A and B are shown apart, each in its own frame.
Chain A
Amino acid sequence: MSHHDTDFQGDIVAAIVSAIRSKIANSQAEVSGGGGHYTIAVTSPAFAGLGRVDAQRLVYSAIAHLMAGDAPPVHAVDSLRTIVP
């Protein structure tokens, strides 16, 4: 995948993990990637009873501020898994 520049200063993986953990109850996040492309796996009881689309929406809304704008730190989520513990 192509590399995408961003003005974001700091550790993007850490920023994704911390955004998810602060906004989704009792969640654990595994994040890898770079160059704007990330693979994310989130485990949380909050996903119980949600369909795949709604569960992923929860994650996307938690990191929305990292995906907004013209040169966002997160350009694309290559793979997103939501897991109920």
Chain B
Amino acid sequence: MSNLADGSNPTHEHISQVLRENRVVLFMKGNRHFPQCGFSAQVVNILDEFLPTYKTVNVLSDPALRDGIKAYSNWPTIPQLYVDGKFVGGCDIVRDMHGSGELAALLSEGASSGGSPVTPEAPKVHLSPAAVGAFKQALGEGASEHPRLHIPANFEHELFIDEKQPDDLEVQADGLVLLLDPASARRANGVRIDYVTGTGQGGFKIDNPNSPPRVQPLSVKGLKGMLDRGDTFELVDVRTPEERATARIAAARHLDDEGFEYLQGLPKDTPIVFHCHHGMRSRAAAERFLSTGFTRVFNLEGGIDAWSNEIDPTVPRY
């Protein structure tokens, strides 16, 4: 690839290093769990069928990289897949190679680092007796269809009744067949499906140990408890300076440029609680921090308004 790498360019050097250190690398928009473009999502979905792990690089996090990778490969679009340091193609080519079986062959060749491809096999999924009963009741006698568990890259689980497809994997449970497509099966090992009945209607409950961290809702009472106990965490106010002048929670740090820099320097497992006026803006901020790798991210439900209302009436409402 002598035509590609220009040793004097730091972005090219960075790309070369990533390619040397990882057998399979996908330059994409977003990451494996939060693809931010349909083409990137398609390639992730294909790779997830074959590989337990692979390296992804989010080009949206660095404008120099976004342009640099296009120059590096002389290829004008994102995503870009590399295997063993060689450019394989974009979404279109990866899709073709998947269909023809070339991709499976390429990924299993000399697999060493970066995760070895595995022929998909049925994952271990546990269905509770209540879940099996609820499925059987929904299907009725002698049904030709089966429940399907679909797990997309963002782990928004879906359960529905469907026909069997040729490449489906099957999980057997007490006479019931659960269908999973190969990419979903890759993400399903250790899943537990239960059926819970509360007030009124019942519903399926899916617990997946492979799910990425999510923004966790936190009540104002929960926050009060954390402050009273002296827990170690960061409380972050995402509102405008004008709103902060009107009302503020004393312990909260403002998410201005300085606050942002400070948070980015913290260990990724630092608990961070975000708050705003009612809990919407802070949820968006919390999602962004989660996507940059923080794992313990909380959103204060109801925001400072709930705090004034339920915890500290001396904080003005507005």
A and B interact physically: yes
Size of chain A's interface in residues, with CB distance under 8 A?
Answer: 13
Using a CB-CB cutoff of 8 Å, which residues 20-52 of chain B contact chain A?
38-39
Q: Chain B contacts of A52 at CB under 8 A?
A: 89, 93, 96
CB pair A53–B77 under 8 Å, yes or no, is no
Partner-contacting stretch, out of A7-15, A18-26, A28-36, A75-83: A75-83
Is B203's CB within 8 Å of the partner chain A?
no
CB pair A57–B96 under 8 Å, yes or no, is no
CB pair A53–B92 under 8 Å, yes or no, is no
CB pair B38–A1 under 8 Å, yes or no, is yes
Is B74's CB within 8 Å of the partner chain A?
yes
Q: Chain B contacts of A1 at CB under 8 A?
A: 38
**Nearest CB in chain A: distance from B87 CB, A:** 6
CB pair B93–A56 under 8 Å, yes or no, is yes
Q: Chain B contacts of A53 at CB under 8 A?
A: 75, 87-89, 93
Is A67's CB within 8 Å of the partner chain B?
yes
Task: Write out, one digit per residue, whether chain B residues 88-100 have a CB within 8 A of any chain A CB (1) or not (0).
Answer: 1110110010000
Residue of A nearest to B93 (CB): A52
Is A64's CB within 8 Å of the partner chain B?
yes
**Chain B interface, >50% SS class:** mixed
Residue of B nearest to A53 (CB): B89
Is B76's CB within 8 Å of the partner chain A?
yes
**Nearest CB in chain B: distance from A20 CB, A:** 14
Option from A57, A64, A67, A80 in Cβ contact (under 8 Å) with B92: A80
CB pair B38–A60 under 8 Å, yes or no, is no
Q: B interface vs A, CB < 8 Å? A: 38-39, 74-77, 87-90, 92-93, 96
11 A-B contacts, Cβ less than 8 Å apart? A52-B96, A53-B87, A53-B88, A53-B89, A56-B90, A56-B92, A57-B75, A60-B76, A60-B77, A67-B76, A78-B92
Interface contacts beyond A60-B77, A67-B77: sample of 20 additional A-B pairs, CB < 8 Å, sorted by A: A1-B38, A52-B89, A52-B93, A52-B96, A53-B75, A53-B88, A53-B93, A56-B89, A56-B90, A56-B92, A56-B93, A57-B74, A60-B75, A64-B76, A67-B76, A76-B39, A76-B77, A77-B77, A77-B92, A79-B92
Q: A interface vs B, CB < 8 Å? A: 1, 52-53, 56-57, 60, 64, 67, 76-80
